[in-house]
């Protein structure tokens, strides 16, 4: 025991003495608690600290910056969320350096899409960009979402085929014969595939950014 501890009575000991004096002459006695060393509380403090961090993450997972540019969490309000998400009515898009921030849904969910830039004339991407304008889905942000989506699906190869599912073409139509509605040459013509793919996206998800958001969540669109 150090000199300071020997000459100075601690606050806890003073309180204990006062309690004993008050209880003297009564039938009550102060309960005797076991003495615990300071290090005995370390596991408790560690548990409380870890729990507090977990609660902060659960209550406000977006209190800091998003962990990844591709992070996306959202919930659909439809009875069949795998079929209808309605992003066309809820998404907002803002310009960011080198790309676009897409925020969609009522729970403030976001992801970053790099600006795809202007495609080379005469390519499949150039045709897709022009066709987006024809169906009133023009704009750099929607084109950039389409580029990212179809790079993920097929890398823009007209003859891409999924060995497990049988999905085919640039938009990965399942089955590929669905694209025959846009032309008998759907098997080899990227423009036929693109027309079908963009119409499918517009009808089901409202926009390429809506389809990309679904793909980010589910792994398909």
95 and 160 together in one domain: yes
99 and 54 together in one domain: no
Q: Can you give the residue range of the structural domain that contains 14?
A: 3-59
Domain C-terminal end among 11, 42, 59: 59
111 phi, psi to nearest 5 deg: -155, 165
34 and 98 together in one domain: no
96 and 32 together in one domain: no
Tally of domains within the chain: 2
pTM of the model: 0.56
When comparing pLDDT for 136 and 11, which is higher? 136
- Round to whole Å and give the CA distance between 95 and 102: 9
115 and 190 together in one domain: yes
- pLDDT, position 221: 92
43 and 97 together in one domain: no
In a domain, 67, yes or no: no
172 and 119 together in one domain: yes
27 and 134 together in one domain: no
43 and 100 together in one domain: no
Cβ neighbours of 25 (radius 10 Å): 7
Please provide the average confidence, as pLDDT, over all residues in the chain. 74
In a domain, 124, yes or no: yes
134 and 32 together in one domain: no
pLDDT in tens, 62-91: 333 223 333 333 333 333 333 334 454 456
36 and 124 together in one domain: no
Q: Judge whether residue 94 has pLDDT over 70.
A: no
pLDDT band at 204 (very low <50, low <70, confident <90, very high): very high
48 and 150 together in one domain: no
Domain C-terminal end among 18, 43, 59: 59
Closest CA to 132 of 216, 194, 213: 194
Cis peptide before 91 (omega within 30 of 0): no
Domain C-terminal end among 43, 59, 75: 59
In a domain, 185, yes or no: yes
When comparing pLDDT for 189 and 19, which is higher? 189
């Amino acid at each position: 025991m150090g000199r300071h501890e020997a000459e100075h009575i601690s606050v806890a000991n003073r309180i204990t003495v006062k309690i004993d004096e008050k209880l003297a002459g009564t039938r009550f006695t102060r309960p005797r608690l076991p003495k615990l060393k300071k290090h005995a509380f370390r596991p408790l403090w560690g548990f409380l600290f870890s729990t507090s961090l977990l609660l902060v993450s659960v209550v406000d997972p977006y209190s800091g910056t998003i962990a990844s540019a591709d992070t996306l969490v959202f919930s659909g309000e439809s009875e069949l969320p795998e079929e209808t998400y309605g992003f066309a009515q809820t998404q907002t898009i803002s310009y960011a350096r080198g790309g676009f921030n897409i925020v969609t849904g009522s729970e403030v969910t976001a992801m970053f899409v790099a600006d795809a830039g202007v495609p080379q004339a005469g390519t499949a991407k150039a045709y897709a960009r022009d066709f987006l304008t024809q169906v009133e889905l023009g704009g750099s942000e929607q084109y950039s979402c389409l580029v990212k989506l179809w790079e993920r699906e097929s890398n823009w190869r007209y003859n891409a085929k999924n060995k497990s599912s049988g999905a085919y073409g640039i938009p990965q139509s399942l089955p590929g014969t669905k694209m025959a509605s846009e032309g008998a040459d759907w098997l080899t013509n990227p423009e036929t595939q693109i027309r079908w793919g963009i119409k499918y996206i517009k009808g089901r998800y409202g926009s390429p950014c809506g389809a990309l958001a679904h793909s980010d969540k589910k792994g398909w669109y």
